[in-house]
Amino acid sequence: MINKEVSNLCEAIYEKMTLNLEAFEEMLKITQHLEMKSPDDEAELFIKMFEQRQDLINKIEIVNKEVTMIGNQIINVLNFGNFELESIKPYISHDLYQNLTTTNANINKVIVQIQAFDKQYKEQAEMVRERTKSQIIRFKTTQLQNQLYQKMRSAEPKFVDKNG
């Protein structure tokens, strides 16, 4: 038996989930763009891209809070202990249930893709960091050797001609 109030609340959740899916897809695009760049590239570009991702994460968190509030309303209407898609299936239309489950699955797929890119990028960035660290150590060693060489080199003797 379809419950109109629950159905309306689930429609609102579906709209919110669609917003989240769009945000996650945008985050995936940013992540893919980030992946195409080398960690050696200019830092400002990476900072900008990470800020864009953080803005999307903040938006997603806000939408998730709204979804939680709507889910709590459904719990109160149906007198359930918690909110799960499977438990509300009898109270909404088949199409709405399909939309919710499909959107949820799509969000999860995009998240997995983002995590894979992040893992790969993190490993790449770690290699660059280690390479840079080695270069710094070599530079400091060379610099120290040069300083020691300069100290060990005695000054050329200077002769003063008192006769002339």
- Other beta carbons less than 10 A from residue 35's beta carbon: 14
32 occurs within a structural domain? yes
Domain around 43: 4-122
Q: Are 96 and 10 in contact (CB under 8 A)?
A: yes
pLDDT in tens, 42-66: 667 778 888 998 999 999 999 999 9
31 occurs within a structural domain? yes
Please give the C-alpha separations between residue 15 and each of 8, 86, 133, 157, in angstroms, as whole numbers. Answer: 11, 18, 48, 87
Q: Whole-prediction pTM value?
A: 0.72
pLDDT in tens, 53-102: 899 999 999 999 999 999 999 999 999 888 888 999 999 999 999 999 99
DSSP code at position 39: T
73 occurs within a structural domain? yes
Q: Which amino acid is at 98?
A: Q
Cα separation, 23 vs 62, in Å, equals 12
Q: How many structural domains does the chain have?
A: 1
